[in-house]
Structure 1
């Protein structure tokens, strides 16, 4: 009886030791399986997010919207080039330089003429900076200024009976009444400061070539004009007045690093 009990006890101890050994091996194996999986997931996650250097190149752009609209019949022409620095494919400090001119008649017979350069500085932010593709969705802000001279001339109408020039029949003198006599004010000086909020897409076409468009909402900060009338057009800003909306369509080339 005692021998049988001893035998059962030894068998139970052996079985318990075997069970504990197998359990330890299973736990060890499952633990080693989990670590590589987590490591692989971490590596995969790192590969999904591209890493760019702080300085990632310089982009040069030319606007096609201004010349295109002028060729299609607009009285206003704007020509513009831009350069921006790519920082980590995320931030794009930008400098834009352009020239705008206008030669137009208003509906009430007033001739406006101007032509001058303008300047914009600002920053764009690429909301697609984490993406693997090279397209960019940009939002940004600009400060802009233009100092210009302009001419304002009134249309003169000939008197069919007595001859000579009559006043512009479309414009009434607000002080003395009657038609405003012809006038010719040239070389008046004007300056405008404004801010632009920009949003647009820059699509990668081939190698370092991009094409894209942007909308620009322009907020006038301050303006000074001549004594004898306001301009019809401000270079870089557009139609003189309150806030306005602009469009640009650009070809961009990324300079090789």
Structure 2
């Protein structure tokens, strides 16, 4: 989430890997040459905005009203940016569809071990999962066996680097819900912000009515620059 002072944000991405060859100590064979290729993602600012209005008489009665509204606006825009990031991930990353209801074993396999590719994720700890509340609840009821006391969610939390719930994962439909898996720590997505959040109080527009408006504005953009750093895996609850 780089801070951009002005202008478009440009992110060059190397799209080719070098060709690596092995030679005996006695050979003079020239190494294969790879032509590097780059793409450049140019992102211009989009706008997130929210506002409150209140009466001066209300502010006089309730101490801290203005500060509370400003804090709510700041938190609201931060959550709006979270939603924009998840929406972009859903748009840019191809879904792996579910074919049957998940079990204890399939949760471990599909949402961890099948995501380990040796390049973006080389071990279980390189995986982080973002899930919806319906999926978390389903995983809490999937046990290893009849007499086991550890559920799938307990197991997946132990072997990966974490499971978090987001209210911005689309609600389950037909007992199916997306899970976003993050592989590794490379710079595989960008969410630049232009000059942070601006809070603009307006005491003039509705002054005749004794009202004050508070606007909050954030300029941002989001782009997945390397989709292989993420997986969108569909969970099936029953």
Structure 1 length-normalised TM: 0.20
Which structure has more strand as a fraction of its residues? 1
Bigger Rg over Cα: 1
